[in-house]
Structure 1
Amino acid sequence: MQLNQDIIQIKNKEYIITNGIGGYSSSSLCGMNTRRYHGLLVAALNPPVERYVVVSKIEETIVQNNGEIIHISTNQYPGTFYPNGYIHQYCFTKQPIPTFFYKLDSGLQVEKSICMVQGSNTTIVAYFNSGSVDFELNMNPFYVLRDYHSLNAETQVNAYATEINDNYIAIGYHGMPQKVYCKISNGLFKDSKAIYYNVEYFQEQSRGFDFAENMFSAGSFSTHLKPGESVQIVFSLEEAILQQHPQNLIAEEIIRLQNIAVDEKNTFLKDLIISGNQFIVDRKSTNQKSIIAGYHWFTDWGRDTMIAMRGLTIATGEKEISESILTSFLANLSEGMLPNRFSDKNEAPEYNTADATLWMFVVLYEYYQKFKDLHFIQQYFEQLKEIIIAHINGTRYNIKVNEDGMLYAGEEGVQITWMDAKVGDFVVTPRIGYTVELNMLWYNTLKIFDFFSKALQNTSFTVDTYIDKIENNFHQYFWNDYSFLNDVISADKQADQSFRPNQIYAISLPFTMLNEMEGIMVLHSIKEKLLTNYGLRSLSTDHEKFIAEYKGDSWHRDNAYHQGTVWSFLLPEFCLGWLKQYQYSVTAVKQVRQWIAPLEDHFYNHNGIEAISEIFDGLNPSDGKGCIQQAWSVGMLIKLLKELNNNHE
């Protein structure tokens, strides 16, 4: 990607790479950190959680043979950018690993690459003299050693550095349980402790948070590079890994990345699958795989995992990973519900999601369609039956099937659907009652359980009666006089006719209760009222509570979250419904490809590079908002492209 040396343009674009255990390395394309979540090494101390920003960045200076000093790093301080190294940067590439290209003078060029070691809290930064003259390179790492949600306000050095030898040091911090070890492959370390005050993060400022912190320097590394020579600095929480040659570790990671989706011919799909691999992590507490919901600040959640893995692991043929994830969640089944969040730091798991458990049935159905493995289904069949019975009889949060076969859910002060914004004690979209997507998911749960019962020839418990009830009553509850579906029916049977995207699941899920004409009417209403270049609006623009922009402090953002904000993960779901309704016709396929083209451009060129943003403004969406890399956004796009390939090409 060519860069125009405009700091405004560069600082709004970011990269992220991950280590498979919840840690990551991320910054803007010029290496200037713009978020508290940015850092060269953000380590997961209890994979995939308890993340700490350990190494914030490196400030690099080049000393030419005539003694002139040139900075290639950039920071934001109050009222200024310093140094202004971005003016020397002319290019950035994400693949195979993030690489920054600098041209400083006649014949003086340098490349900087960043790599993480899979399964390890380790980041390697490599510098290569790609020019025709030699120079001295000085590298001054900045440390903050803090929880990634916080900021370092220390005004004195609470960290300590122990020099082990000339090229190898250990950095500790009072309050952080682990040291970080630093080693340069060819160079020297000079002890020179200092604090750099008031480094600012403009993304935090725009989000209404504290946005400045102080950073600690233990000293700098230096080396002399001739043309064609390189040097690497390794930062790790694991001292033993520093005994391996960093070039070998980089080569191993590049080979790993190149082997992901190696047979995929569609370049966009291949790059999406590589991008999606960033979400798949090891979870220490379960000794199984899990899926991070989004970077930078989300962890692994039940609902997001179930929706995202449809594309991330099932559509891509990752059978063992799919089984590991499902095993992990089913091992924590309680009162017929999957957890929305696991137990970390010895607290109890959270079960505040009404839909994650129902989404699991869809996942299992798609798992079976992909892998034809009935044995895995059989292992958990009794638990599937337990889930059905718990929902019929009643479980947490007033989740229970009524006499009409409809699923009720919700209680005051708790948000359990995917529209889960809450500000203090205020639930923005409470949606207590019979929601359209929960009832479509419940219907699919019953149909899928029935399908597995027959496939396993285990009919000791049947759900035919409940299938009949919901089929007989669904239209009475949800089909309205305007030829679309009500969003929520209250306990006293009052209809909330807010036009929201949740009705898409009445068409896109494996089993539907709408006839052909009804499906077409709903699809075209969604197209008219909710469809944008980047996803579906969460509320139609003609609603009195519609909010056009997702901006401001956390209170304003949370209020806008589901009141019109565009969600990118819903665009593939809408496209899947469209393809299904129009039977993958040539015209339908062409239309869908046109609809997803802006997301492809976004993926390569905007916000998170080779990432899909979580959300966009409800009116005139352009820049990505929220997380720069969202699991279900990437996963559902992978699923859509795989479906297009399987059914049309």
Structure 2
Amino acid sequence: MTERGTIPSPGYEGGCGMEWLVANGLGGYASSTAVGANTRAYHGLLVSAVDTPADRRLLLSSLDEEAKVGADGRESFQLANHQYPGAVYPRGYAHLQEFAQDPLPRFSYRLGEAEVEKTVFMLPGENSTLVRYCLGGQGEIAVRPLVHCRNFHSASPLPGFSPEQVEGGVRLHSELSFYILSDRASYMPEELRFYNLEYQEEQRRGLAWTEDCYSPGCFRLSWKGEESFAILASTTRSSMPDAAACWECERERAWSLQAPVTGLARAADSFLVRRGRGHSIIAGYHWFNDWGRDAMISLPGLLLSTGRFREARETLCTFAGAMQGGIVPNDLGARSYNTVDASLWFVQAFHQYYQLTGDRELLQELWPSLNSIVQAYTRGTSVARMDQDGLIVSQAGMTWMDARVDGEPVTPRAGKCCEINALWYALLRALSLYAPELGVEWDDELMHRVKKSYRRFWNDDAGCLYDVIDPQDPSVRPNQ
């Protein structure tokens, strides 16, 4: 990949190994590979967030293009790529000259004497994807949408669809209703079913990996010279926007994003999502919701280093508002509170925010929440309790190593964990600094007790910390 994110002729295997994603700030996204082949059940051109930022549904799986070029249209080129049992068909990757993200995903095809360029982007704050085509030469292009309507987590049986032809395209009624429209291409109904589409990444993971897709019809356009048109897939828009203006606006927005590492600015932006009237942070694509631990660890990098202080403030308020008994949720969408460290990372994220902004108003607003964390951990909760030495004892499976099999934690880490107690000390130290600013009485005795007790973590033989003490575990893990 070049400095501006261009990959010349990646080939099928190479292209399938490189994935792209654009998001809409709601938890919805469009995502596929550098050759446009869907290798995951999570891939698709419109994955809609029904209950922002959760309950995501795959609606538009792909757009299959076929171009007949030249004055007589004798040369035909298919641009799609689908993995079927034992075969890839069509083989659009053979005509792909380059894939680029500059800054939006762009596919450039050479078709004899003609050229087709396809750019994919989403409209911010909408479950709407625009695919813009720029054409050169002469010919006729047909674009066929392949759709589904399912939870994005797994390949599933195809539900029923009821197509309704509308101005500019079609409205599809299934478990959800959505539109597929074009500004210039004419829509022609022609229902087809595509059988046994395979997702090789899901096969590798041992999950459901085969499904069918439905196509209600296709869009057709004849062109000569340099022309452009667009396809819209949307749960809300019943008419086409100005695709060229939307493309330019989203390009400018994407290029305007700032980050210490320039190439990461747009990636960082995709993790920020709306939740209610505020913001939150998606823990990871494709399958995660907004998780407390992940959000608080990543907030300084995603939002503070990029200068997005307003969104950082709103994210902190979102998680503070979801606290129960001094515990920040592990999974905000599921309202699960089975984590010992999310609350501690919350204080770390706020502390870094406060150091950069000096936001006294937010400190005053969040002080009861910050203090409630101390009270919860000193009293004891379902996830942790404080011992007489001031150190925090974690219950089994409540740290970052929380994977479970048949309900049992794979790595329990029950006891006094090194990073949990480092965060505990950092929390107490931060609050000891805030209290005088707010004119609140604060006793530093517990902070000093924790500092003294923490020396027990040092493993002189190994030259590093014990991972857990009481009981002692000398394992070396990345949390050190």
Task: Find the aligned partners of 1:335 and 1:442 in 2 and give their Cα distance.
Answer: 17
**Residue 1 of structure 2 corresponds to residue 16 of structure 1:** no
Task: Find the aligned partners of 1:239 and 1:276 in 2 and give their Cα distance.
Answer: 27
Residue pair 2:9, 2:99 contacting (<8 A) in 1 also: no
Task: Find the aligned partners of 2:390 and 2:371 in 1 and give their Cα distance.
Answer: 17
Equivalent residue of 2:465, what SS? Answer: coil
User: Which aligned pairs between 1:358-437 and structure 2 lie closer than 5 A?
Assistant: 358-397=344-383, 399-411=384-396, 415-437=397-419
Amino acid at match of 1:488: V
Structure 2, unpaired ranges of 5+: 1-5
**Residue 200 of structure 2 corresponds to residue 202 of structure 1:** yes
User: Which aligned pairs between 1:46-125 and structure 2 lie closer than 5 A?
Assistant: 46-64=51-69, 65-66=71-72, 67-105=74-112, 107-125=113-131
**Residue 185 of structure 2 corresponds to residue 187 of structure 1:** yes
User: Which aligned pairs between 1:278-293 and structure 2 lie closer than 5 A?
Assistant: 278-284=270-276, 287-293=277-283
Residue in structure 1 matched with residue 172 of structure 2 by the alignment = 171
Shift of 1:68: 2.7
Amino acid at match of 1:481: D
Residue pair 2:103, 2:251 contacting (<8 A) in 1 also: yes
Task: Find the aligned partners of 1:356 and 1:482 in 2 and give their Cα distance.
Answer: 29
User: Which aligned pairs between 1:468-617 and structure 2 lie closer than 5 A?
Assistant: 468-489=448-469, 493-503=470-480
Shift of 1:150: 2.4
Task: Find the aligned partners of 1:39 and 1:4 in 2 and give their Cα distance.
Answer: 22
Residue in structure 2 matched with residue 253 of structure 1 by the alignment = 250
Task: Find the aligned partners of 1:406 and 1:104 in 2 and give their Cα distance.
Answer: 68
Equivalent residue of 1:209, what SS? Answer: coil
Structure 1, unpaired ranges of 5+: 504-649
Shift of 1:271: 2.0
Equivalent residue of 1:2, what SS? Answer: strand
Shift of 1:409: 1.1
Under a length normalisation based on structure 2, what TM-score does the superposition of the two structures give?
Answer: 0.96
Residue pair 1:5, 1:88 contacting (<8 A) in 2 also: no
Residue pair 1:436, 1:478 contacting (<8 A) in 2 also: no
**Residue 439 of structure 2 corresponds to residue 452 of structure 1:** no
Deviation track 1:494-549 (CA, whole Å, cap 9, x = no partner) reads 3100111222xxxxxxxxxxxxxxxxxxxxxxxxxxxxxxxxxxxxxxxxxxxxxx
Task: Find the aligned partners of 2:368 and 2:7 in 1 and give their Cα distance.
Answer: 56
Runs of 4+ in 1 over 6 A off after TM superposition: none
Task: Find the aligned partners of 1:213 and 1:343 in 2 and give their Cα distance.
Answer: 28
Residue pair 2:198, 2:211 contacting (<8 A) in 1 also: yes
Task: Find the aligned partners of 2:345 and 2:157 in 1 and give their Cα distance.
Answer: 43
Deviation track 1:376-425 (CA, whole Å, cap 9, x = no partner) reads 1111112211211111111122x1111111111114xxx21111221222
Amino acid at match of 2:116: V
Task: Find the aligned partners of 1:424 and 1:110 in 2 and give their Cα distance.
Answer: 51
Residue pair 1:72, 1:84 contacting (<8 A) in 2 also: yes
Task: Find the aligned partners of 2:301 and 2:466 in 1 and give their Cα distance.
Answer: 28
**Residue 133 of structure 2 corresponds to residue 151 of structure 1:** no
Task: Find the aligned partners of 2:392 and 2:232 in 1 and give their Cα distance.
Answer: 54
Shift of 1:455: 2.5
Residue pair 2:10, 2:98 contacting (<8 A) in 1 also: no
Residue pair 1:3, 1:10 contacting (<8 A) in 2 also: no
Shift of 1:243: 4.4
Shift of 1:322: 1.1
Task: Find the aligned partners of 1:137 and 1:98 in 2 and give their Cα distance.
Answer: 20
Residue in structure 2 matched with residue 322 of structure 1 by the alignment = 312
Count residues with an aligned counterpart.
473
Residue in structure 1 matched with residue 287 of structure 2 by the alignment = 297
Task: Find the aligned partners of 1:29 and 1:47 in 2 and give their Cα distance.
Answer: 28
Task: Find the aligned partners of 2:237 and 2:7 in 1 and give their Cα distance.
Answer: 37
**Residue 424 of structure 2 corresponds to residue 442 of structure 1:** yes
Residue in structure 1 matched with residue 3 of structure 2 by the alignment = none
Task: Find the aligned partners of 2:355 and 2:287 in 1 and give their Cα distance.
Answer: 33
Deviation track 1:436-481 (CA, whole Å, cap 9, x = no partner) reads 000000000110010111222321x42x111121122111244343
Percent identity, aligned pairs only, is 32
Q: 388-397 vs 54-63, which deviates more?
A: 388-397
Residue in structure 2 matched with residue 142 of structure 1 by the alignment = 146
Residue pair 1:329, 1:339 contacting (<8 A) in 2 also: yes
Select the structure that is richer in strand.
2
Select the structure that is richer in helix.
1
Task: Find the aligned partners of 1:272 and 1:446 in 2 and give their Cα distance.
Answer: 33
Under a length normalisation based on structure 1, what TM-score does the superposition of the two structures give?
Answer: 0.71
Q: For the structure 1 residues 501 and 170, does the alpha-carbon distance in structure 2 shift closer, same or farther, using more than 3 Å as the test?
A: same
Residue in structure 1 matched with residue 216 of structure 2 by the alignment = 218
Shift of 1:315: 2.1
Task: Find the aligned partners of 2:311 and 2:336 in 1 and give their Cα distance.
Answer: 23
Residue pair 1:152, 1:215 contacting (<8 A) in 2 also: no
Shift of 1:343: 4.5
